Every structure is written in structure tokens, then in C-alpha cells.
A and B are shown apart, each in its own frame.
Chain A
Amino acid sequence: MLSRVAERIYWLARYLERAEDTSRLILVRHNVILDLPRNVQPDWELLLRVLGAREQFAQSPGAANEKNIMSFVFSDRENSSSIITCLTHARENMRTSREVLPSETWERVNSLYLSVARRANKGLPRASRHSVLNSVVQSTQQIAGMLSGTMNQDESYQFLRMGRYLERADMTTRIIDVASEVLGNPDEDARPYQNVMWVSVLQSLSAYQMYRLSERHNVRPPDALQFLLRSPVFPRALSHCLLELEDAMKLLPRGQDSLKAVQSVHRKLKRTNCAELEGEALEKFLDDIQVRLQGVHEVIQHTWFTPEQ
């Protein structure tokens, strides 16, 4: 299999996943802010911090208010991680590797891109925010399902898996980050809201029902955090993503280095008592995981996409 083709499939999966997870992430923030006590000032800029897009936003015209930030993360083509940019890249990667991917999925990716592009100039007003973002989530889920259901599960599929789960691992930590301000807030006023917010976070990750099934008790912040980070069975949990990555790497030639890199992230996760993480310690932990995942990407890149001469 050509490195270029492998790389395009990997990035196709990453960008699709990123579009989905960014939608989920905005939804979480949206819900958290709706639930905030009146005396707490809603902080939309947190979205930019979590997405690592603060500097880019600073260069764009317009104040850091809700409307501008929403447009920036949803439909600003200048923003290298906006949903429209992710879908543009996903579409381009798919377009140029159409011969190895099922053709129906190309049509779906194309039509998802077009539907978001058509809405782009309308921004993301509160009234339609939920339905628009939800439809992005649904479409990307559908595409992922089509790929899993119709593609040969050969080497090219492993690159799809790696792209998907590496991106998801990273984005799950960011989604937790978005809510962490409330979770880790020692302010007594915020305490009563924590449970409500964790329900929001879990729901945005389609994790609420699964959490209840698996934990069999009410949502308690430490348990919710533990579930999203450590559950081996919930498909959006960090631990599960790492297991999928390890599995995909075992099925590929020359996967040892990447496998080692993922296993070290996994060990770090297992050593940490997630339930006790709060405030700065949690943020630091999540940052550290994100840096390590970037390291995994670099090993993947080095091993399969730019082989040495």
C-alpha cells in the first residue's frame, strides 16, 4: 500500500472525527453555559483555549463574543480547525483516494460538506445551534458506519481506524477540558451545578445511557470522569480509543514503535487515579495526555507516511 494513500485515509478519518467531536464540544459548551447560574459570566473563550485556537482567533477581526466565536469555530475557513475546514480537508482527502474507498461514502461526505457550506454564512445562532451540530454528528456517524460496514478491513482500514481513534482520544480529553472549569471549581456556589453539568457532558458524548448501564448509579463527577477516561468498553472513552489504536497497529507491518508510544500513554492513564483529579491537576493531566498523543502521531507519520530512503 502506498504511503500517500495510507496518509490520506488516516487524515480523512481524523478530519471526519474532528468535525464530529468539535460539534460535540460546542454542544457541551452550549449546554454548560445554558445551565450556569445567573451570576456566573459565560466564558465562550474557553472554547478557543480548549481547541488551541486562541492565537488564530486574535488575528481575526471582531470581538470575542458568542456570535463571533461560534462563526469562527463553525464556518470560518481561515480557522484551520473549524468544522468547515475539517470537512473541506476530509472531502479533499476522500476525493483523492476514491479508488480505495467505497463510492457511496464519497457521496455522503460530499453532501455533508455541501450542507455545511450552504449554512456557512448564517453562523450558528442559538436557535438552530443544536439541530445543525446534531446533524453534523449524525452524518459523520453515518459515514463512519458505512466505512466500517462496506470497506475491506485490510491495511487501509487500519489507517482509517488509527486516524479515527487517535483524533477521538485527543478530542475526548478536550471535551472534558471544556467542562473542567466547573468540575474543578472549588467555589461553593458552583458545587450544586456540577452534577447537572456532567449529565450534559455525558449526553453530548452520547455517553449518558452507557454510563448508567455500566455504573448503575447516579451521575457523580468523579465516576463520570473515570468513565470517560478509563472505560475499556465505551467507544468514546480514552482508554477504549487507546485499545483500538493498539489493535490497529498490531495488524500493520512495522508497527512496534507506534505501539510502544501508545502503550506508554496507556500506562500513564492506568497509573493515574482519575477519580481524584480536580482543578489544575486535571488540566495538567489532560494537557500531558494531549502532548503524548501528538507524539504518537509523529511516530505514525514517521513510520508509515515518510519512510526513510
Chain B
Amino acid sequence: MPKSSAAAIKAPAPYKRARPGIDWNAYDPGQFYDEIISSPGNARAAARGLVSYTRKMSIKHLLSRQQAADLAIQEMGISFTVYSDGENIDRAWPMDILPRIIPLKEWQVLEKGLVQRQVALNKFIDDIYNKQRILKDKVLPREIIDSSPEFLEQCIGAKPRYGVWSHICGSDLVRDSDGTMYVLEDNLRVPSGVSYMLENRAVSKRVLPQLFEKHFIEPVDDYPSQLFDMLASLSPRSGDQPEVVVMTPGIFNSAYFEHAYLAQRMGAELVEGSDLVVGDDDKVYMRTIRGLERVDVIYRRINDDFLDPEVFRPNSMLGTPGLFRAWRKGNVGLANAPGAGVADDKVIYTYVPDIIKYYLDEDPIIPNVPSFLCVDKKHCDHVLKNLENMVVKPANESGGYGMLIGPASTKKQREEFAARIRKNPRNYMAQPALALSTAPTLCGNSIQPRHLDLRPFILQGKNHYVTAGGLTRVALRKGSLVVNSSQGGGSKDTWIVDTEAS
């Protein structure tokens, strides 16, 4: 045998038993609620497997797993797009390999609460566009609807199937220092992030397979088929396999990766507005190499404004003329329905407990974060006086833009914001800055507590479905509360763990 090849084959270095593992006594989240440990050195019941496993692992070993994960993410092409300096940049999706763990028992309660919320909100939207009982009964002041930019007059009288308007809902959950989970906001229009939840799981299975033997982790992989079934249940035609498509604004959209991903996983066509055409028969067709083919259900990932230039923005190049007409006639299913955004206005949010009570005669299972509406004079004064302890949000923005985070703000920023609030109080609501829970996260060469939230995805069509867990987003900067990936946030795989099965 030639010398060189003999030298190239080396036996692996012998395993050193006395390696120093992760020292969980040194990990201290301070006054915050930590998702993994209950006190320094003590794992929460659901996370015992993770903690004892990492006790035997050196930080170097753990970092090499993180590198393996980063590589897998690049190879799998998991990316998101950020828009900066007039250019679109595809960035690799940031994922921390240490999972966030929630016990199954707690999750089962949250799951019920999420379904309760979506059911009530859908009843609310249906009521608002039809009989408006809740306004007549004065549970909700009419001005709030009248002044809502998300209320679409064109939708009045529409009756989508099952009375459901928001079929795919992403509600953000946060945990305060006493361990209580709150709903921070509801995303009822086109919530994104579910593909990253699925990919995070695929990556952690690749790089931490041993942990999956130690825990009973609820699988998440059936989301695409659940989504497809839900969408199929909206088809106006009965019988054979309905034609379901995913409608994207195109490659320049920041969530394009997800649109393509979901289309692929569901075996649905990924269409752009110009691929669709509405015929004189008010039915929707797509242009294919076989000619025009009827479309039954559209999972649209473009905003209401751009959906149909005949009804909304006349200059929209992204939509399809006539789509709204086809939907109103019941010839095509649209998920989510136009106008659903009326209920994820941050002012409406403060009424959700009342909405649940009104339509379901139940108490909310998951509480709201206490909120102050600036349109209310008394609330507004309170907010202005306590700005440094408040998080102030505009009523209709998403992605963490246009917010004031009191504890992290400068005096000048607060003064500017106060002026804006005084000028347009209807547009603002405020919440006390929560002490968001933390979880151990790999930062440089050590494990440190970082704040996080959770976005589960809830489906409602003919049936209900809640993802097992959801997308955990983590603020990678020390002390930061902003988890959005466009603003330096990362993510974690989320495990719903059954501690009783074993």
C-alpha cells in the first residue's frame, strides 16, 4: 500500500472521559423566568434530558454541533430576505441548536386557549361584516370599527365557508417572570414563519439525534398536509381533488422562501398574480401549458391591498383583476379571506377577552397582556407618564417596526414618541414592558440567557389544528427584547415534551 494513503487513514482519537461538560450551575438567568432551568443547576422536569445530556458535553463539542447546524442550513438553502441599501439580500436563517422546551401538559391548555381565541375572532369578523351584533349590543364602540383602516367595506355581507375568515392564524405568546403565558398579539392576515418551524426541527434532528431518543417530542412535520386539508375544505367544488395554489407577490418578497417551501410541500402550484385570470364566468383559472385550468382555493400570501386592482389598489401589479368578485360569488376559496385584518388591529386586541366572552360565553384561557389604549384619555395620560416602562406600538404595523421600547429608549426618543401619540392617539396602544422569559442560548463561546417569544400557528377550516409548539424566536443581543429576524433575532426549535410517557 502506498505510504501516503496509509497515512491518510487515521483511527479516531480515543474518547477522553474526564472532559469538562457544560456547568449548569454557572448559568443564571437572574430575575427572569427561564424555560429550561428552575434555578441554577436545576433543570425543569421536561428539560432534564437536555440538561443531563449537555452536562456530559464540552462547550467545544456543542459549538461544533452548532457549526454543523449552520452548515446544514446553508446546504438546505434555508434563507430569509432582508431589504437594505436598496438591495435584497438572502441571509442564512439563524437558528440556535439548544431547543426551547414546553411540557405537554402546559401545552394542551395553551392549545385549547389558542383555538378558543381563533374561533371567537372568526365569529367576531363574521359578525362585523354581517349583522354587527357586537356593536349593537355596545360591547365594542362603533368608532373603533369606523376608524379601522383594516375594515373593508367591500366585504360587508360576505359569507365565506364555515363562517371562517382567518384560516391561518399566528398568535404570539410571551411568558412573564411569574411564568404566566400571555398572548402578545394575533396575526390574522398573512402570518409567516411556519416553514422555519419545520426546518428548525429538520436541522435539530440532524445535529442532535441522541436527544430525540431521550425525550418524547411531539412531531411537527404534518403541518403541510394539515394545511392542505384545511385549504381543500374551502373548495367550492365538491368531489375530486381540488386545485389548491399558493399565491406569492414574487421573489422579492421577504417570505418568498416560505411561499415556495409550502407550495412544494403541499404539491401545490406557486403562482403569481399574472398566472391567474378571472373569466367572464367569475371563476378563477391559471395559465398552464395545457391551457386554462380552474383554481379552487388560493392560499394567498399577498396583502389585501394588492389582491385585486379592480377593488383595491388600482395600480397593483401583484394581484389578479376580478379575484375579489370570484370570491364574493363563492367560486373560489381565499385563505385568509380579505378583510380578516380588522381583528388583528392592536386596538381590537385589547377587546379580545370581551369578544371571547360575548361570542362563546367563556373566560379566556390565555390572558392578554394588560394594555392601554391611547385613544382613552385616562389611559393615554398613564402611558405618557410612564413611557420608560412601556412598550408602545402603532395599531397597524407588524415586523416590530415603529415601536418604542421604553426601558431601552433615550429621553429624546421618548419625547418624539410622546408627540406622535398626542397627535394621533387612535393609532397607538401601550403595554407595560414584560420581563420576557429566557432560555439558554449559544453566544460566542458560552451559554447565556436570551429573551424569547413563541408563535404557534392555528388552522381553522372545517376542522381545527394547532402546531405542536410553533416558532420560537430569540433576541440574540444581550438584554434585547426584539426577536424579529429582520432586526437581529434568531430562532430555536420548540419541543413539546411529554414528561409522563416513559
Binding site for B on A (CB under 8 A): 1-4, 6, 95-96, 98-99, 103, 155, 159, 252-254, 304, 306-309
User: Total interface residues on B, using CB and 8 Å?
Assistant: 22
Give the interface segment out of B233-241, B270-278, B308-316.
B270-278
A99-B264, A99-B270, A309-B277 are known contacts. Are A4 and B289 too (CB-CB below 8 A)?
no
B264, B270, B288, B289: most-surrounded residue (chain A CB, <10 A):
B289
Q: How far, in whole Å, are A309 and B320 apart by their CA atoms in the complex? A: 14
Chain A residues whose CB sits within 8 angstroms of the CB of B269 once the complex forms = 2
B57-114 residues at the A interface, CB under 8 angstroms: 77
Minimum distance in angstroms from B273 CB to a CB of chain A: 11
In this complex, what residue of A is CB-closest to B286?
A2
In this complex, what residue of A is CB-closest to B271?
A2
In this complex, what residue of B is CB-closest to A98?
B260
Minimum distance in angstroms from B439 CB to a CB of chain A: 33
Chain A residues whose CB sits within 8 angstroms of the CB of B286 once the complex forms = 2
Minimum distance in angstroms from A109 CB to a CB of chain B: 15
In this complex, what residue of A is CB-closest to B285?
A309
B264, A3: Cβ atoms under 8 Å?
A: no
Minimum distance in angstroms from A11 CB to a CB of chain B: 14
A155, B272: Cβ atoms under 8 Å?
A: no
A99-B264, A309-B277 are known contacts. Are A4 and B287 too (CB-CB below 8 A)?
yes
Q: How far, in whole Å, are A99 and B246 apart by their CA atoms in the complex? A: 13
Q: A3-B289, A307-B289 are in contact. List 5 more A-B contacts (CB 8 A).
A: A2-B286, A2-B289, A95-B251, A98-B260, A308-B291
Q: Can you name 29 A-B pairs with beta carbons within 8 Å?
A: A1-B289, A1-B290, A2-B269, A2-B271, A2-B275, A2-B288, A2-B289, A3-B275, A3-B287, A3-B288, A4-B272, A4-B274, A4-B275, A4-B287, A95-B251, A98-B260, A99-B263, A103-B77, A155-B289, A253-B289, A254-B289, A254-B290, A254-B291, A304-B289, A307-B288, A307-B289, A307-B291, A307-B292, A308-B291
B77, B260, B271, B290: most-surrounded residue (chain A CB, <10 A):
B290
Binding site for A on B (CB under 8 A): 77, 250-251, 260, 263-264, 269-272, 274-275, 277, 279, 285-292
Q: How far, in whole Å, are A309 and B277 apart by their CA atoms in the complex? A: 8
B290, A253: Cβ atoms under 8 Å?
A: yes
Q: How far, in whole Å, are A96 and B274 apart by their CA atoms in the complex? A: 14
Chain B residues whose CB sits within 8 angstroms of the CB of A103 once the complex forms = 77
Q: How far, in whole Å, are A294 and B41 apart by their CA atoms in the complex? A: 75
- B interface, by DSSP: helix, strand, loop or mixed? mixed
Minimum distance in angstroms from A152 CB to a CB of chain B: 13
A99, B288: Cβ atoms under 8 Å?
A: no
A99, B260: Cβ atoms under 8 Å?
A: yes
Chain B residues whose CB sits within 8 angstroms of the CB of A6 once the complex forms = 289
Minimum distance in angstroms from B450 CB to a CB of chain A: 32
Chain B residues whose CB sits within 8 angstroms of the CB of A309 once the complex forms = 277, 279, 285, 292
In this complex, what residue of B is CB-closest to A95?
B251
Q: Of A95, A96, A252, A308, which is within 8 A of B289 by CB?
A: A252
In this complex, what residue of A is CB-closest to B264?
A99
Chain A residues whose CB sits within 8 angstroms of the CB of B287 once the complex forms = 2-4, 306-307
Q: How far, in whole Å, are A1 and B287 apart by their CA atoms in the complex? A: 9
Chain B residues whose CB sits within 8 angstroms of the CB of A99 once the complex forms = 260, 263-264, 270
Chain A residues whose CB sits within 8 angstroms of the CB of B270 once the complex forms = 99
In this complex, what residue of A is CB-closest to B290?
A253
In this complex, what residue of A is CB-closest to B272?
A4
Minimum distance in angstroms from A114 CB to a CB of chain B: 15
Minimum distance in angstroms from B461 CB to a CB of chain A: 25
Minimum distance in angstroms from B494 CB to a CB of chain A: 27
In this complex, what residue of A is CB-closest to B274?
A4
Chain B residues whose CB sits within 8 angstroms of the CB of A307 once the complex forms = 287-289, 291-292
Q: How far, in whole Å, are A306 and B269 apart by their CA atoms in the complex? A: 18
Minimum distance in angstroms from A307 CB to a CB of chain B: 5
Minimum distance in angstroms from A253 CB to a CB of chain B: 5
Minimum distance in angstroms from A250 CB to a CB of chain B: 14
Q: How far, in whole Å, are A77 and B260 apart by their CA atoms in the complex? A: 31
Minimum distance in angstroms from A93 CB to a CB of chain B: 11
Minimum distance in angstroms from A25 CB to a CB of chain B: 31
Chain B residues whose CB sits within 8 angstroms of the CB of A3 once the complex forms = 275, 287-289
Chain B residues whose CB sits within 8 angstroms of the CB of A306 once the complex forms = 287
Q: How far, in whole Å, are A95 and B260 apart by their CA atoms in the complex? A: 13
Chain B residues whose CB sits within 8 angstroms of the CB of A95 once the complex forms = 251
In this complex, what residue of B is CB-closest to A303?
B289
Top 5 A-B pairs, shortest CB-CB distance = A3-B287, A304-B289, A99-B260, A307-B291, A6-B289
In this complex, what residue of B is CB-closest to A3?
B287
Minimum distance in angstroms from A13 CB to a CB of chain B: 15
Minimum distance in angstroms from B237 CB to a CB of chain A: 20
Q: How far, in whole Å, are A3 and B271 apart by their CA atoms in the complex? A: 10
Q: How far, in whole Å, are A6 and B272 apart by their CA atoms in the complex? A: 14
Minimum distance in angstroms from A73 CB to a CB of chain B: 29
Q: How far, in whole Å, are A306 and B277 apart by their CA atoms in the complex? A: 12
Q: How far, in whole Å, are A96 and B256 apart by their CA atoms in the complex? A: 10
Chain B residues whose CB sits within 8 angstroms of the CB of A96 once the complex forms = 250-251
Chain A residues whose CB sits within 8 angstroms of the CB of B292 once the complex forms = 307, 309
